[in-house]
A and B are shown apart, each in its own frame.
Chain A
């Protein structure tokens, strides 16, 4: 079926999309790399080339700390989001009678502005916010609790909420695909409920778990809005630093190097994670 003429038509169909992606993705990323090598005096390019930005990004202690914090915050977010969503997806796949209704109910909260969903947590956790004013009203506390907002904890809670749908749906899909007769077979062969879950259900649902983890880890590492609104100075992440380089500090080469290094780091960690998770799944079976 796929003779030369026909696949030629296929490539022709694909070409407009590829052209747009080349213009809007490949060219800008190449430019990002070029800018990251530009030498700058003050806020003006001086025409030279340098690796100084990379030296600064990798060498400066405060940047290294920021990278580490961004990675462990989004690692924690990924873990929390997936762990919280798994039982929910399991319930819908195996126990809910009206699956479709549950899926709609679970996705509705995600159809409002991302900014406002994040901001809602600032209102809830804030000094004069919903939790504090509620607890004072109930006479459970006299002074507002100050530790709820402006720290990594607030960032993790907010992101675990904001990205929940990206965990629930892939995990649900992979659980739903599991052949029910395999579960019966495991039961017939004497596996208890827990053993059956650990040896059949969990390994078979790992593609969904891995997919969800990647879909959440990658974008949350680069999230700007959440740390800016609820993170405070202790919850600042890498995207905030990149934004400052471009909009305030006028150091585009440094911003470009920061962006590329964080992208590379996320890609390496995500790749290692997928490899490790696949190996672990094989071992469990």
Chain B
């Protein structure tokens, strides 16, 4: 029967998606420096080694810094732009949105090297700040997409009612607009943070001596004896990301079911 084979296919495809990812946790607990079968017993020593690795911790700190700043700035810029195009009928809005979304259609390598040229031409040093600029380029289109979707269903009457009832523009924003948009903002912050945290190629060209976590991982991949530790790191990232995504989904659903939060 057709239906049954489709179900079978769905589970086979799921396996295809999960098997490579499961390699990370399986071999991160394996008591051997070689990534091969048979498994040779359980250990947590790769995790212990990780916490003592100061270069890794420094790179982690850099990635957190770049990720947080990128997420805040991209979401702010996305919010302003999303508000502009959903609330005002602007001539040329389509073309301007297309321009802002352009980085989605340009390979990262081109974004990386062209920003490298910009830094060279302006004398701006290779640094975490440069990485943030590059990551904003990648993240603003994502933030914009998420926030426009949220704002399109936004009922302007609520803001007008608030103004009619005597709230100032600032208080209307703070007590009506902001709470209504909070789920969208949270989703955008999460998406842009994870994108920046995971981005390798642009940071590879722009970071100079301030390695981010993906750059640190890239450096480790050349040393076979460091691999189990890298897999342990990947397992931790996976676990935290999954927890964050589940949390974000939970928050988003709260927003959808109860659009009057914060009223």
Q: Which residues of A contact B (CB under 8 A)?
A: 1-2, 6-7, 9-14, 16-18, 20-21, 23-29, 31-32, 35, 84-85, 87-88, 90-92, 95-96, 102, 104-109, 111-117, 119-121, 123-124, 128-130, 132-134, 137, 161, 164, 193, 214-215, 218-219, 221-225, 229, 239, 242-243, 246, 252, 255-256, 259, 262-263, 266-267, 270
Closest 8 CB pairs of A and B: A222-B107, A10-B88, A28-B114, A111-B241, A13-B84, A2-B89, A112-B238, A133-B36
Q: Given A7-B90, A17-B77, A120-B24, decide whether A252 and B117 contact each other with a Cβ distance below 8 A.
A: yes
Please measure, in the bound complex, the distance between the C-alpha atom of A178 and the C-alpha atom of B107, giving whole angstroms. 32
Report the minimum CB–CB distance from B154 to chain A (whole Å). 15
Are A224 and B113 in touch, CB under 8 angstroms?
no
Which segment, of B2-10, B51-59, B178-186, faces chain A?
B2-10
Are B35 and A123 in touch, CB under 8 angstroms?
yes
Are B200 and A106 in touch, CB under 8 angstroms?
no
Determine if B223 is an interface residue (Cβ-Cβ < 8 Å): no
Main secondary structure of the interface of A (DSSP, over half): helix
Question: Which residues does chain A contribute within 8 Å of B77, judged by CB atoms?
Answer: 16-17, 20
Partner pick for A221 among B14, B107, B118, B121, CB 8 A cutoff: B107
Question: Which residues does chain B contribute within 8 Å of A85, judged by CB atoms?
Answer: 13
Question: Which residues does chain A contribute within 8 Å of B241, judged by CB atoms?
Answer: 111-112
Question: Which residues does chain B contribute within 8 Å of A104, judged by CB atoms?
Answer: 245-246, 249
Q: Name A247's closest neighbour in chain B (CB-CB).
A: B205
Q: Name B107's closest neighbour in chain A (CB-CB).
A: A222
Question: Which residues does chain B contribute within 8 Å of A129, judged by CB atoms?
Answer: 35-36
Q: Given A20-B77, A218-B105, decide whether A109 and B17 contact each other with a Cβ distance below 8 A.
A: yes
Q: Name A221's closest neighbour in chain B (CB-CB).
A: B107
Please measure, in the bound complex, the distance between the C-alpha atom of A38 and the C-alpha atom of B132, giving whole angstroms. 29
Partner pick for B194 among A35, A91, A111, CB 8 A cutoff: A111
Are A111 and B238 in touch, CB under 8 angstroms?
yes
Are B87 and A259 in touch, CB under 8 angstroms?
no
Q: Given A7-B91, A218-B105, decide whether A116 and B24 contact each other with a Cβ distance below 8 A.
A: yes
Partner pick for A161 among B9, B16, B36, CB 8 A cutoff: B16
Are A87 and B20 in touch, CB under 8 angstroms?
no
Are A219 and B108 in touch, CB under 8 angstroms?
yes
Are A246 and B234 in touch, CB under 8 angstroms?
no
The range of chain B's interface size is 35 or more
Q: Given A2-B89, A9-B88, decide whether A31 and B217 contact each other with a Cβ distance below 8 A.
A: no
A-B pairs with beta carbons under 8 Å apart, 9 shown:
A2-B90, A7-B89, A21-B140, A28-B117, A111-B244, A117-B20, A121-B20, A242-B113, A246-B116
Are B84 and A112 in touch, CB under 8 angstroms?
no
Are B218 and A31 in touch, CB under 8 angstroms?
no
Partner pick for B217 among A18, A116, A221, CB 8 A cutoff: A116
Main secondary structure of the interface of B (DSSP, over half): helix
Report the minimum CB–CB distance from A96 to chain B (whole Å). 8
Are B234 and A112 in touch, CB under 8 angstroms?
yes
Question: Which residues does chain B contribute within 8 Å of A243, judged by CB atoms?
Answer: 109
Partner pick for B107 among A132, A223, A256, CB 8 A cutoff: A223
Question: Which residues does chain A contribute within 8 Å of B90, judged by CB atoms?
Answer: 2, 7, 10-11, 14
Question: Which residues does chain A contribute within 8 Å of B2, judged by CB atoms?
Answer: 193
Please measure, in the bound complex, the distance between the C-alpha atom of A128 and the C-alpha atom of B35, giving whole angstroms. 8
Question: Which residues does chain A contribute within 8 Å of B89, judged by CB atoms?
Answer: 1-2, 7, 10
Q: Given A10-B84, A123-B23, A229-B221, decide whether A266 and B7 contact each other with a Cβ distance below 8 A.
A: no
Contact with A along B159-189 (1 / 0, CB 8 A): 0000000000000000000000000000000
Q: Given A11-B90, A104-B249, decide whether A113 and B117 contact each other with a Cβ distance below 8 A.
A: no
Q: Name B25's closest neighbour in chain A (CB-CB).
A: A112
- The residues in B between 1 and 43 inclusive whose CB is less than 8 angstroms from any CB of A are 2-3, 6-7, 9-10, 13-14, 16-21, 23-24, 27, 34-38
Are A225 and B201 in touch, CB under 8 angstroms?
yes
Report the minimum CB–CB distance from B75 to chain A (whole Å). 11
Are B231 and A116 in touch, CB under 8 angstroms?
yes
Please measure, in the bound complex, the distance between the C-alpha atom of A105 and the C-alpha atom of B18, giving whole angstroms. 9
Q: Given A9-B88, A28-B114, A88-B13, decide whether A267 and B35 contact each other with a Cβ distance below 8 A.
A: no
Determine if B100 is an interface residue (Cβ-Cβ < 8 Å): yes
Question: Which residues does chain A contribute within 8 Å of B69, judged by CB atoms?
Answer: none
Are A123 and B99 in touch, CB under 8 angstroms?
no
Q: Name A84's closest neighbour in chain B (CB-CB).
A: B13
Q: Given A20-B136, A263-B106, decide whether A28 and B115 contact each other with a Cβ distance below 8 A.
A: yes
